[in-house]
Structures are given as structure tokens and as C-alpha cells.
Amino acid sequence: MRFHVVTIFPNMFESYFAESIIARAIKNKLLEIHTYALRDFTFDKHRRVDGRPYGGGPGMVMWVDPLIKCVEKIDKKIQKKKNTKVLVVMFNPGGDMFTNTLAKTVSKKYTDIIFICGRYEGIDARVKKILKAKEWSIGPYVLTGGELPAMVCIDAITRQIKGVLNTEDSIEENRIASHEIYARPEVYEYKGKKYKVPKVLVEGNHKLIDEWRKNHSTGKNVS
Ligand code: SAH
């Protein structure tokens, strides 16, 4: 899987992807993450990427041309590889809700995903039409830009790629996982009160443990 991120803030991505599971996956050649500085695709000396909206109103709109030029360049690079399947995604708080099911589907279906991170008021609507892009939202709130959504989606999709997590089993959705988890000590005392691990988890009856976990499961919020 190759991720391509179009942004005016490429530096934002460096520290997150340089650590932990994603860094290991990149090192093991399970994925690549490339960022593209949108301002490199402008032709005026101020390297502007945005202008005033038609119809008036506050906030600037990201221009079509630099985005198209940038994606054309990425596409050229992708087409040098064999058997590619490309998805273009724009971020928009009003887009299709990004879910774990979607993460799983796209992780299997595509070789390259191009993410376009919006800023300001958003992206000129013609970009979506020209690039036949999908629009994804990561939740019912408005952020200042598409960079965090790109990181969120890359993270969730990466987890679904075979070999990224240590064992297949680590993928919560493939087993009975609970969001309520405990490790040593069995009893933790704080300000005179005892906080105990549920008995069923210490007793070792795996059938009962699975049942308990099902009732305290991650699954209900992940689909
Ligand atoms: N005024 C716009 C919001 C623009 S927010 C509106 O009301 O729709 C600026 C950019 O941040 C968006 O273009 C998008 O790329 C990103 N963004 C903000 N919130 C988001 C969310 N919940 N999901 C995905 N992208 C989001």
C-alpha cells in the first residue's frame, strides 16, 4: 500500500509516522507514505493556493489548479508501477463517514490512496468531479484542516494490512476483544479504596472470559 498526501503542511506528518507500528511497517516495506507540498505546484511568487469564494462569505477556498497539477504528478509516478489501483480521497466534515469497515475494504482493494487535505473553508468542488474523488469525514465535528483526518485514516487502514500488527490476532475485530482491560496488580488500592480486577478474568475459565468480553466489547463501536 502506498499513501500519497497532498498538503500545505507536510512537516506535520513526520513525527507521527516516524514512531511505533507505522514506522516499523514502513521499514518492513509493507507501506510507503509520501507527502507532497501543495505550494510546490503554484506558479506565482507568493505560492498562493487559495482565493476568495464565489458568492461571498468568509474563509478562502483552495484553488483547483495546484491540486490538479499535484495529483497529475502523483498519478504519473504511480503509473510507473504495475497493476495499480488508485483511490483519490478528499476530506470534508460533510463527507461519507470513515469507519473500520471502510478501512478494511480499501486496504484490500487499492494499491495507492491519494489523500487531499483541505484547509480554510475547503476545496473547490470541481476538484472532486475532475479527479472522481471520494469525500470522507472522520467525525461530526469541524477541524482546522485535513491533516489529522489523513493521519487517522492512514493509521486505521495500516492496521488492516497483513503483517503490520505482530499477529493476525492483534486485530480486535478478528477476535473477542474488550475495551475494559486489566493487568497487574489484581487489587489496586487508592485513597483507602480497593479497585479489583473482575473475578471472571482471574479465574481462567475461557468460555466465561469470552462471554464477559463479548458483553464489554469493542465491537459495538467499531463497524
Ligand atoms: N467550512 C467548512 C469546514 C472547513 S474545515 C464546512 O463547514 O464544511 C477545513 C478542512 O478541514 C476541510 O476542507 C477538511 O479537509 C478538513 N476537515 C475538517 N473537519 C473534518 C472532519 N470532521 N472530517 C474530515 N475532514 C475534516
pLDDT value of residue 115? 98
Could you state, in chain order, the average pLDDT of each consecutive group of 10 residues for the chain (223 residues)?
98 96 97 98 94 95 98 98 98 96 97 97 97 98 97 97 83 80 97 98 96 84 69
Protein residue closest via CA to atom 15 of ligand 1: 118
Show the ligand 1 pocket: residues with CB < 6 angstroms. Answer: 91-94, 117-119, 121-123, 137-139, 141-143, 145-146, 149
Protein residue closest via CA to atom 11 of ligand 1: 145
pLDDT value of residue 85? 98
pLDDT value of residue 34? 98
Ligand 1 nearest atom to the CA of residue 120, by list position: 9
Phi and psi at residue 168, in whole multiples of 5°? -50, -35
pLDDT value of residue 222? 77
pLDDT value of residue 173? 72
Query: Cell match 487535505: residue?
Result: 117
**Cα four-point dihedral sign 17, 18, 24, 29:** positive
Domain 2-158 -> CATH class: alpha beta
Protein residue closest via CA to atom 10 of ligand 1: 145
Ligand 1 nearest atom to the CA of residue 140, by list position: 22
Q: How many CB atoms lie within 10 A of CB 164?
A: 20
Task: Count Cα atoms within 13 angstroms, Cβ side, for 44.
Answer: 8
Q: What is the pLDDT of residues 111-155, one digit of tens each?
A: 999 999 999 999 999 999 999 999 999 999 999 999 999 999 999
CA of 204 to the centre of ligand 1 (A): 47
Domain ranges of the chain: 2-158, 176-222
Protein residue closest via CA to atom 22 of ligand 1: 93
